Amino acid sequence: MSIFNYKAKNRAGQTIRGKVEAVNEQIAADILREKNLFVIKVSRKRHFFLIDTIIEKFFCRIKVKDEVIFFRQLSVLISATIPLVQALNILVKQTPNKTFQKVILDIADDVEGGSRLSDSLAKYPQVFNNFIISMIKSGETSGKLEEVLIYLANQQEQDYDLISKIRGAMIYPAFVFVMLIVVGVIVMVFVIPKLTTIFLESETKLPLATLILISISQFIVNFWWLLLFILLVVFIFFQLYFKTPFGRHQRDVLKLKLPLLGPLFQRIYLVRFTRSFATLLTGGVMITKALEVTREVVGNTVYQGLISKTIKEVEDGNTLVSVFSKSPYIPVMLNQMISIGEEAGKLDVVLAKITDFYTKEVETLVKNFVTLLEPLVIVLIGLGVGVLVAAVILPIYNLASQF
């Protein structure tokens, strides 16, 4: 199978461009005609793997915000009794992201051709995950697509708000850290070499801190290419290592055990679990199926393993907390609340309340982390200034006092 670029016109006379997967150009054109498109041009896509990957990742990326707006607007249009195909075509014009426009247009064409919305969305797993597909399927099966779209829009919006708050809180510490690195590199590359010449000509005895700083500066100036190569090798090694099952599991365990960030990561994963699970149950998805979908959404192999074991326990007729109660990564309160929800037959309601509770905890932990990080950043700056004073200012002062 190959990828073909195409240029065609739809029923409305609009010129559209996109990609289609087929064995050859003729079959690609036939596929487009089946979608009621008038084919203008079909050509095999040339593959430049690295360039295509960079363009797709940084310039053609569909953001979470785009998905949030899409589901919110689609739920509003469906609730206004606008036909699904017409609603999708309206959203094509409303969406500013060109890549997302093509995706929605293809989905609209598929639905118009008789496909179900869930099947059309499933063709784009890089955009719509299993959680979204399962929710849409449940809405189509139960005849409650409008309600499910509203639930889905709310869930996506809450996830986006939580991620935005965390990222917003990390901007200041990240900026300070990057600036420290930039200033350090400038000092090592441009300032220290000039001072080194002065120190060597004076033939004065230099402190140990100054000698270390000069050695580091010389290494960076003379072997910067080697340093970049080492950093690149280390980066690639960890990228490949974390793609292995063992490496990914080790990374996820480390996240949960970090001194300050561990509790924050734990709460984030619990929010993902409870919110997704509650939304699926509210949408009418069976417990085992809801757990399977949630397992893919939670994003941590530790919790994925716990959910996999829980699915087996539930299928054997045991309770949800039979596995959770034995794990140190699941709070006691969560187990108790789930047990209460199971016994009362209101598991989705209880999970929604737990989600609200842990969402507030995440916000509190982020605020506390940033508050604690600010003095740590100040201490780090102070240490940097102290090293410069000990290694640079004092030798200059001693040199000046000799005259």
Q: Do the Cβ atoms of 156 and 185 come closer than 8 Å?
A: no
Same domain for 77 and 12? no
Residues 40 and 69 in one domain: no
Residue 144 has pLDDT above 80, yes or no: no
Same domain membership, residue 291 and residue 198: yes
Q: Do residues 190 and 288 share a domain?
A: yes
Domain termination residue (choose one: 100, 130, 158)? 158
d(CA 205, CA 293): 67
The amino acid occupying position 171 is: I
114-129 burial, b at 16+ Cβ within 10 Å, e below that, comes to eeebbbbbbeeeebbe
Q: What are the pLDDT digits (tens) for 256-283? A: 998 878 898 999 899 889 988 888 888 7
Q: In this predicted structure, what is the pLDDT of residue 234?
A: 95
CA distance 400 to 170: 44
Same domain assignment for residues 120 and 191: no
pLDDT for 39 beyond 60: yes
Report the distance separating Cα 79 and Cα 225, nearest Å: 60
Pick the last residue of a domain from 133, 158, 183: 158
| Range with lowest mean pLDDT among 95-104, 326-335, 343-352 | 95-104
pLDDT at position 50 over 70: no
- For residues 46 and 40, the answer to whether their CB atoms sit within 8 Å is no
User: Quick one: average pLDDT of 310-334?
Assistant: 90
Q: What is the pLDDT of residue 46?
A: 59
Asked whether residue 126 falls in the same domain as residue 19, the answer is: no
* pLDDT at residue 58 greater than cutoff 80: no
- Contact assessment for residue 196 and residue 213, using Cβ atoms and an 8 Å cutoff: no
Same domain, 331 and 358: yes
Residue 337 lies in domain = 175-403
10-19, 39-48, 148-157, 384-393, range with the lowest pLDDT: 39-48
* Gap between the Cα atoms of 238 and 234, Å rounded: 6
Per DSSP, the three-state class of 204 is: coil
Instruction: Give the model's pLDDT for residue 401.
Output: 67
Q: Same domain for 137 and 183?
A: no
Q: Beta 2-9 vs 15-22: how paired, if at all? A: antiparallel
Query: Which residues are within 8 A (CB) of 118 and not within 5 positions of it... i.e. 6 or more apart?
Result: 133, 136, 137, 140
- Spatial distance between the Cα atoms of 138 and 290, rounded to a whole number of angstroms: 10
233 located within any domain: yes
Tell whether 56 is covered by a domain: no
- Calculate mean pLDDT across residues 233-257: 92
Select the more confidently predicted residue: 170 or 351. 351
Residues 15 and 138 in one domain: no
Whether the CB-CB separation of 347 and 321 falls below 8 Å is answered with no
pLDDT in tens, 363-375: 888 888 878 877 8
Mean pLDDT for the stretch of residues 66-92: 87
- Whether residue 345 lies inside any domain: the answer is yes
Name the CA dihedral angle for 39, 42, 48, 49, rounded to a multiple of 10 degrees.
60
Residue 7 sits in a domain whose CATH number is 3.10.20
Length of the chain: 403
Residue 89 in domain: yes
- Residue 385 tokens, joined: 């200034």
Domain membership of residue 53 (yes or no) is no
**What is the residue type of 186?**
I
Regarding whether 181 and 324 lie in a shared domain, the answer is: yes
More confident position, 260 or 84? 84
CB contact set of 59 (below 8 Å; sequence gap of 6+)? none
75 shares its domain with 224: no
Residue 49: band (very low, low, confident or very high) from pLDDT cuts 50, 70, 90: very low
Where is the domain boundary, 158, 183, 205? 158
Any domain includes 163: no
Encoding tokens for residue 146? 């409008």
Give the mean model confidence (pLDDT) for residues 60-75: 82
Q: Is residue 335 part of a domain?
A: yes
Residue partners of 16: CB distance under 8 A and separation at least 6: 7, 8, 9, 10, 37, 102, 105
- Reply yes or no on whether the pLDDT at 135 is more than 70: yes
Q: Of 173-182, 200-209, 229-238, 306-315, which range is least confident?
A: 200-209
191 and 320 assigned to the same domain: yes
pLDDT of 403? 59
pLDDT on residue 60 = 56
**Average pLDDT over every residue of 102-107:** 86
Q: What is the pLDDT averaged over residues 179-199?
A: 83
Of the listed ranges 111-120, 151-160, 186-195, the least confidently predicted one is 151-160
Q: Are 36 and 12 in contact (CB under 8 A)?
A: no
10 Cα distance to chain centroid: 34
Residue 54 has pLDDT above 70, yes or no: no
What CATH number corresponds to the domain at position 145? 1.20.81.30
Give the total number of structural domains in the chain.
3
Any domain includes 110: yes
Average pLDDT, the chain: 83
Per-residue confidence (pLDDT) for residue 2, from 0 to 100: 64
Res 138 pLDDT > 70: yes
